[in-house]
Structure 1
Amino acid sequence: MTPTIRDIEDADVPAVIALWHEAGVARPWNDPATDIAFARRGPHGTVLVAESEGRIVGTAMAGEDGHRGWLYYVAVDPAHQGGGLGRLMVEAGEAWLAGRGVWKVQLLVRRENEAVLGFYDHLGYRDTNAVCLQKVIARG
């Protein structure tokens, strides 16, 4: 059965958080509920979900900053991995961004997650040879 890909709804949040933990994309320093709420607070971001037989089986958070688009939390239920759902989630995120006039999409891959690099390479993503720096200026 082909999953339905749609914007997240309030009732989906617990299942999305559980999926992020199960798929290994959640990290202790990022509160998933806060990240979801932040993505949904305005027109510049969303969380897309794939629903199959009443269950959330995939996600992709998409956002744009006025210059380029970003994908985060691309996750697929481990029982559904390897069947093309990850590609569908990335394509759904790209389509969401393209619909807002974004022509460049970026994403971050943690160094320890080398296994996923081949997946993104197959989808046309390339290493930008840039260093990502961050600073937390406020939390709350």
Structure 2
Amino acid sequence: MQIREASVGDRDDVIALWQAAGLTRPWNDPVADFDRAVQGATSAILLLRDGDALLGTAMVGEDGHRGWVYYLAVAESARGQGHGRALMAAAEAWLRARGCPKLQLMVREGNDAAIGFYRAVGLEVQPVVTLGRFLH
């Protein structure tokens, strides 16, 4: 098994995993998200593969102030084997290599399983409120 950065040729496999994991939403275009991350100078999508099989992903990016993780997904058949932890460790290493002082991510309200996972890997709930607006 290896973790590497995604390339354009990985798009279909990655989006299929995101959809199977329930990470996509009608208001977010996963193709555009994938393309922006892969083509961006300050972002990447990390892939965990076992041969040709895609086991997991983590999108990482840094905004000049903080590092962010999105789209952490592990194939249902590969869950419970430490792959999520391995991807989070790889995401942290990617961000540290770029000098990011802090890693952050967002979890939708009510996703207690995800919050439990992130707490188990050492993240803490932060005392902030996230505000936003759709631009298109």
Query: Normalized against structure 2, the TM-score is what?
Result: 0.96
Q: Deviations over 1:37-62 (max 9, x none)?
A: 11122221000111112111100000
Q: Which residue of 2 aligns with 1:123?
A: 121
Q: What is the CA–CA distance in structure 2 between the aligned matches of 1:75 and 1:81, rounded to whole Å?
A: 9
Match among 5, 8, 17 for residue 7 of structure 1: 5
Tell whether the 8 Å contact from 2:7 to 2:38 is kept in structure 1 after alignment. Answer: no
CA RMSD in angstroms comes to 1.0
The aligned amino acid for 1:81 is R
Q: What is the CA–CA distance in structure 2 between the aligned matches of 1:16 and 1:112, rounded to whole Å?
A: 25
Segments of structure 2 that go 5 or more residues without pairing to the other structure are none
Equivalent runs, 1:59-74 vs 2, <5 Å: 59-74=57-72
Q: What is the CA–CA distance in structure 1 between the aligned matches of 2:110 and 2:53, rounded to whole Å?
A: 29
Q: How many residue pairs were aligned?
A: 136
Equivalent runs, 1:19-58 vs 2, <5 Å: 19-58=17-56
Query: Normalized against structure 1, the TM-score is what?
Result: 0.93
Tell whether the 8 Å contact from 2:8 to 2:38 is kept in structure 1 after alignment. Answer: no
Equivalent runs, 1:86-101 vs 2, <5 Å: 86-101=84-99
Identity %: 44
1:118 aligns to what SS in structure 2? Answer: helix
Q: CA deviation at 1:26?
A: 1.3
Q: Which residue of 2 aligns with 1:16?
A: 14
Could you list the runs of 4 or more consecutive aligned residues of structure 1 that deviate by over 2 angstroms after TM superposition?
Answer: none
The aligned amino acid for 2:113 is A
